[in-house]
Structure 1
Amino acid sequence: MPRDALGVLSEIKRSFIIKQLKDGKRGDGRGLQDFREATITTNYVPRASGSAMVKLGRTRVLAGVKIESGEPFPDTPNSGVLTTNVELLPMAFPTFEAGPPNETSIEIARVVDRGIRESKMIDTQKLVIDPGKKVWIVFVDINIMDFDGNLIDACTLAAVSALRTAFIPASKEGGKDIPLPVDQIPISVTMVKIGDNLICDPDLEEEQLGSARVTVTTTEDGHIRAMQKGDTGSFTFDEIKKAIKISSDTGATLRKKYFS
């Protein structure tokens, strides 16, 4: 998230947070590597092919899935299509503005899309209607309703939850809707670097303090499916290894808690 979109954190508040982190504490009582409690409500939009509302702290995002038939890409004639879009609604945060996608929304959409796509969560070959001519196109639209930090992970949870409940509309009159063919459960875990600490699932104030951000998306088999580094700071090789371990462990916990 660009610094100018977050506002300015007072020096008193900065000093207080840094002091807490040195003692292994955070403002909301979490440990440095603790993920906030999430609430996931699926089928939130009854008319969508699939949907989910996710609350992560005070961050709220809504993902909706729409599935329509269309032409495949020329280079993948025997595969369906996945497209992901993120919109930062003006009501979610004072600096969010209406209009075309900006740098932040594009980055979030790409990271979420990459994790889903590279994990092979959707069996796109099963989305072919007529090889080379007609396939199912899966649109994932994510709206940011309220922003209090860590949009990437909230959006991933929402998109994955919505896709797991999505269905392909009946092709013929009187036919039955078909569940979207999904398998893997990609989970992204985002961390910010504050001083020498890696802080998991940062809230808004922690994002303001962070010098660098890294997101690692993994699947059940422990494989890395996506990585994204943000902000101007840097990570050491050991910090990256630690971030991967945190992501893998946290991802396993979140899968068991919300998707088992």
Structure 2
Amino acid sequence: MSSTPETSIIPKIKMNAILNVLAKGYHIDKRPLLSYRQIDVIKNISPNADSSVLVKLGYTQVLAGVKIEVGQPFPDNPEEGVLIVNAEYIPAASPTFEPGPPDENAIELARVIDRSIRESKAVALDKLVLVPGRKVWVVWLDIYILDHDGNLIDASMIASIIALAKARIPYYEIDQVTGNVKIDRSKSAGLLPLNKLVSSVTIYKIGDVLVVDPTAEEEAIASASLTIAISEDGNIVGMQKRGLGTFTEKEIEQALEISLNRGKEIIETIKKFLS
């Protein structure tokens, strides 16, 4: 498990250099401000998971794994399956990460991913009921930050959605008398049912400039960020603001426009990795 302390301190000289580059319309790696780094995906990383995906966003690396088990539904949603999202910052991922229980950053990351998937109804939880009111599929989505070079939320969302879309439900048989469920993981009952895909676009305010997909050094000097989740049908399904800085009304309008455009592009990229 992990604890993530305060963001690493950037020397003032380097901070000014980064701000000067951003003011000219480019990231420090020479990308335009609203361009993402290259996205690479490796599937089936963990053979014991029902699905696993490693996403590389520049030098940021995130592993998402899915495990599907039989469990009980939540009392307030007896006719739906269960989705549980956890996130863990691996200490080796960054010099600023330390061993220990997950802190508010890891918890917030998991909640942003969970809320975006849940509010969009991306996973068809109503199709995961085995014995109404008694037995359902419980979908565990675990996110591991392996290398941190900025923009962990967007990288985690990409990994999570691909992992869920590639997850296969184990073959099962239900005893009609007892209601017991017998699982055979050597066979599959089909893919985990999804209603739609979801992406997130996190807009960072650095100085007076709005950027997407910053490196860790750029992210360290951001005053605020706004994560906007976009569903495949073009709806905004979640928002999360972080940092002590503020966004003006005009900047929020710009952020919404950026997220709708970039979110659509990311979903098209995700589809390519699903084919």
Q: Answer whether TM exceeds 0.5 for this pair.
A: yes
d(CA) in 1 for partners of 2:151, 2:67: 25
Greater share of strand residues, 1 or 2?
A: 2
Distance 1:103 1:3, change over 3 A: closer
Matched, 1:231 2:246: no
Cross-structure match for 1:105: 106
41-50 or 101-110, which deviates more: 41-50
Cross-structure match for 1:188: 200
Matched, 1:14 2:26: no
Matched, 1:216 2:228: yes
Cross-structure match for 1:121: 122
Q: How does 1:1-260 map to 2 (within 5 A)?
A: 4-172=5-173, 176-260=188-272
Aligned residue for 2:227, secondary structure, equals strand
d(CA) in 1 for partners of 2:55, 2:155: 6
82-91 or 97-106, which deviates more: 97-106
CA deviations over 1:121-146 (Å, ceiling 9, x no partner): 11001000011111000000011111
d(CA) in 2 for partners of 1:115, 1:82: 12
CA deviations over 1:143-167 (Å, ceiling 9, x no partner): 1111111110111011101001001
d(CA) in 1 for partners of 2:114, 2:137: 17
d(CA) in 1 for partners of 2:187, 2:208: 58
CA deviations over 1:95-123 (Å, ceiling 9, x no partner): 21223221000000000111111111110
Q: CA deviation at 1:4?
A: 4.8
CA deviations over 1:15-34 (Å, ceiling 9, x no partner): 11111112112210111111
236-245 or 131-140, which deviates more: 236-245
CA deviations over 1:21-59 (Å, ceiling 9, x no partner): 121122101111111111011222122111100001111
Q: Is contact 2:80-2:128 (8 Å) kept?
A: yes
Give unmatched runs, 5+ long, in structure 2: 174-183
Q: How many residues align?
A: 259
Aligned residue for 1:233, secondary structure, equals coil
d(CA) in 1 for partners of 2:116, 2:212: 18
Aligned residue for 2:250, secondary structure, equals helix
Distance 1:144 1:175, change over 3 A: closer
TM-score (norm: length of structure 2): 0.90
Q: Give me the CA root mean square deviation.
A: 1.6
d(CA) in 1 for partners of 2:200, 2:167: 20
Q: CA deviation at 1:240?
A: 1.0
29-38 or 167-176, which deviates more: 167-176
Aligned residue for 2:172, secondary structure, equals coil
Instruction: Specify the code of the residue in structure 1 equivalent to 2:77.
Output: T
d(CA) in 2 for partners of 1:55, 1:110: 21
Q: Is contact 1:168-1:177 (8 Å) kept?
A: yes
d(CA) in 1 for partners of 2:111, 2:68: 19
Instruction: Specify the code of the residue in structure 1 equivalent to 2:42.
Output: T
Q: Is contact 1:156-1:188 (8 Å) kept?
A: yes
Q: Is contact 2:5-2:98 (8 Å) kept?
A: no
Q: Is contact 1:53-1:61 (8 Å) kept?
A: yes
